[in-house]
Structure 1
């Protein structure tokens, strides 16, 4: 009795499952931070295929990039990209660069993806003693405040306490920004709030095991609905600017500007001690 002939395997391989459905891969893999896959999925769904996919299918149902779209734009197989988004595979350099290019990532977004894929930074350690930090902020006539990687106030000078009493006594600069006092102070408050949450997301990825940052995130999403919406959206990330000008509003309703310069102590290799100096613009008091 002859055995039936075996069917030759298809060169195309098994069909891909629907977008977002996991399938096991018969490869050895290391589990990665689950936030990576969630973020990649949210990012691609925020992008329209119209200007990215060279010949979009006229029958396509999704109004965003699918996993297959990203795979093609990245120069990967659909299965290889799917494994990254579903947390089954740590992206190597070629895969990493291809995904970053396909999703048109900003430098901050690239840094965020790299941190989620590879980083497990320990809680940063200060390089200056408390009295040295105090002497540093007191050396400025302009408002100056020192704070750590979680925006906890370490100390400030008398000029800062006089100009921003609620921020000086609140304990955390990021949480203070979501108070009514800060809403009245910053003319473009909502824009600044979105930038702050984007910076928090990048810092949260850098120090994945920071209980202090976890506490700040928990307080933030409890205290303000807009902050909770920004955080749960989960897409925007941003780096701390070295210099930024803010438009502020006085109690009398007059607007004025302050340029905030961000500094790190000499020899610092992390963000455990940061210094902000608030400088007036030329011609302003």
Structure 2
């Protein structure tokens, strides 16, 4: 009766290679089953004790309208020619978010395609750099698909630190947030920021499982950060394009900024992120102070 989720998955640091699409598909589906209870999806919770945390495979198969044998093959990475209708039914049954649904689709496709080359090293257009510089008093930066920080304006440096002083490989949100203590203090909701970064990396890995640079990054962070290992093992995927960020800056103290991230139309692997504060707010005054201090603020931060 049913199946039992292996405890080794919870401790999986991600391995040297971030992604084996066949194994990853099963891990992802099992992790999504584990977060749901029968009563969450309108099923009776028979039995006082359940060996499986969350939904049993039989219960998911019933909800999705597929056979248990078919779902077993899919979780074992042996599914072939999975239709969009079946994926939609499984996504609905598991109550996947749009990002998770997209991730599931990529995982299935990864099993049946030739090696997919990861994106080239992106170059930030000169006109985009000029636009960043023109955004006075507004922190803004451009990131690549592996969370690399590729371009930024002086206000972003004043707010987040002098990235120009770092080696290029260290200008990476994942390395900064997980490996630099200053960033743990900077982000008031550090756990949320860290989870957002890992979720975006998981989503990217679903598209490019053969990316050696991502593999190296995941391997490095898995060795150096217990928090990263824990978040990576959760198999959560997300793409957070807007929201609020609470910061504790060493010079101006606490401030809350809203942000919007936009994928660039001619290179969707690059994103432009812009922060803003309501006019007349304490946060807006804090940004004005940072802008007026200029280079001194960057050096101190």
CA RMSD of aligned residues (A): 2.6
How far apart in 2 are the matches of 1:173 and 1:88?
35
How far apart in 1 are the matches of 2:97 and 2:187?
26
Q: Does 1:182 align with 2:172?
A: no
Q: Does 1:275 align with 2:278?
A: no
- DSSP 3-state at the match of 1:204: helix
How far apart in 1 are the matches of 2:195 and 2:230?
10
Identify, as 1 or 2, the structure richer in helix. Answer: 2
1:84 deviates by: 0.7
Given that residues 147 and 197 in structure 2 are in contact (C-alpha distance below 8 angstroms), is that contact kept between their aligned partners in structure 1?
A: no
Match of 2:289 in 1: none
Match of 1:72 in 2: 62
TM-score for both structures, normalised by structure 2:
0.76
137, 162, 180: which one pairs with 2:132? 137
Match of 2:249 in 1: 250
Change (3 A) 1:224 1:132: same
Given that residues 123 and 209 in structure 1 are in contact (C-alpha distance below 8 angstroms), is that contact kept between their aligned partners in structure 2?
A: yes
- DSSP 3-state at the match of 2:118: coil
1:98 deviates by: 1.8
- DSSP 3-state at the match of 1:151: coil
Change (3 A) 1:55 1:257: closer
Q: Does 1:151 align with 2:151?
A: no
Match of 1:93 in 2: 84
- DSSP 3-state at the match of 2:39: coil
Given that residues 133 and 146 in structure 1 are in contact (C-alpha distance below 8 angstroms), is that contact kept between their aligned partners in structure 2?
A: no
Given that residues 167 and 173 in structure 1 are in contact (C-alpha distance below 8 angstroms), is that contact kept between their aligned partners in structure 2?
A: no
TM-score for both structures, normalised by structure 1:
0.80
Larger RCO, structure (CA 8 Å, separation 6 or more):
2
Match of 2:207 in 1: 206
Given that residues 40 and 85 in structure 1 are in contact (C-alpha distance below 8 angstroms), is that contact kept between their aligned partners in structure 2?
A: yes
Given that residues 167 and 176 in structure 1 are in contact (C-alpha distance below 8 angstroms), is that contact kept between their aligned partners in structure 2?
A: no
- What is the aligned residue count? 256
After superposition, give the CA deviation of every residue in 1:162-195 in whole Å (9 maximum; x if it has no partner). Answer: 3222555341122212221111111111122112
Match of 2:117 in 1: 122
- Give unmatched runs, 5+ long, in structure 2: 6-19, 286-301
- DSSP 3-state at the match of 1:87: coil
Structure 1 residue runs of 4 or more that deviate by more than 6 Å after TM superposition: none
Match of 1:6 in 2: none
How far apart in 1 are the matches of 2:195 and 2:123?
31
